[in-house]
Amino acid sequence: MLSLMNFHRVLIVFGILFCWGFGIYEIVQFTTNAETNSVMLGILFVILGCGMLYYLIHLNRFLGRSDQ
């Protein structure tokens, strides 16, 4: 059974994958329709995915726990 901490990590990983996937999708859409909104959304979601990756790497520090 998953602990709450591990379940949280799994959800973060799915969030990262979603953000990067949607960001890449929007950037590809920009190459076909040249709409500014697509490239802005794409860049925003790639940056959000990177922020979530940083959070996942440093999760113990954010929660105030020592390294295990």
Q: Is 7 a residue whose pLDDT tops 90? A: no
pLDDT at 58: 86
Q: Which tokens go with 6?
A: 């591990």
Q: How far is CA 55 from CA 11, 32, 47, 50, in A?
A: 12, 33, 12, 9
pTM higher than the cut 0.95: no
Q: How confident is the model at residue 4 (pLDDT cuts 50, 70, 90)?
A: confident
Rounded Cα gap, residues 26 and 67, in angstroms: 37
Contact assessment for residue 12 and residue 56, using Cβ atoms and an 8 Å cutoff: yes
Tens of pLDDT, residue by residue over 11-59, are 999 999 999 999 999 999 888 888 888 899 999 999 999 999 999 988 8
Rounded Cα gap, residues 38 and 41, in angstroms: 5
